[in-house]
Structure 1
């Protein structure tokens, strides 16, 4: 287990036990995180979601805003009301392609999600306000952190943790460097969120060191705060 993953696993447990204790998630050891893979959202469509449909060979049918109604149905060109709720985007896409096969010669249709009606992500750690944030449209990690009030002084923009559950239910962990994204617009740190993602902003090195001094030195032995303490790269005193 790496030095980085140990505090992350502990911090995630604290987050889940605090601001999002209503989520039925069991603590995971860092070693149990599986390799990160980019998969389409597995969140099923539901009433209130808003979709866009692109017809590759029939662009006159394109529609940029198709809300799913309270009954779970969506009104599609040439088909009328079609049940969408309870299906993933891929399942719904396959279903309407099959329905269009009797009407269009080559029904190439792409289904996109404009916004989710009730999908949420969870932001905790060293942010101003630990929050449950509604996904109203495409949202990346930086936008979610800003919606939670931004990173406080003790937080690290370079060590933001994103946890997502794979389609088989296993948790994945990814480290996001928001400092690099802000400074250089590095695309690999511009990660779009999916429903039920969890973001945790970890403490900075300086903040962790200050906490260590406070807990283990200031309260244990008399200490002159003007004493100059230095740490090496491995965190040891010298």
Structure 2
């Protein structure tokens, strides 16, 4: 009961700050959204390769404070930077110690920044945050969270999205999409989206 009550409270808190429910258009070919440049987030894992300096190359996790520890350098801020931006900064810092450093940064474990995640709350099998990726749709999100619970009212689910700086609600029919197999109920996702799945009240 505690878990159900907590989920209901989350739904009420998020819905309270949103405008009236609207309907999103279905996904059509060519209308899905490309991902913005990926920005490193806390808890990502990254590999740093320093050309001709294997002793400086390393694989490190990004700490919760957004920083990493690398050889020769003190803590370096990594979160909210693209891999290329971080590589250029490391080159600048390492230039004090080695001549003409060439650095490549590769993200090997993805979590992403808060703004790049999609959050699913309520009656999903595995409610959680997932990283946004290019061309992601609601069906992809539902697969990632394991679908709906037996208690979900999927056809009254809500997608919360920021549009022109304002938080808005859109009705999404997850039951029609997942249980009935109607692909016309699919919608394109954007970074920062929140999916709220209410419980069926008998």
Scaled to the shorter chain, the TM-score interval is 0.3 to 0.5
Which structure is richer in relative contact order (CA contacts within 8 A, separation 6 or more)? Answer: 2
Rg (Cα) greater in structure: 1
TM-score normalised over the length of structure 2: 0.47
TM-score normalised over the length of structure 1: 0.42
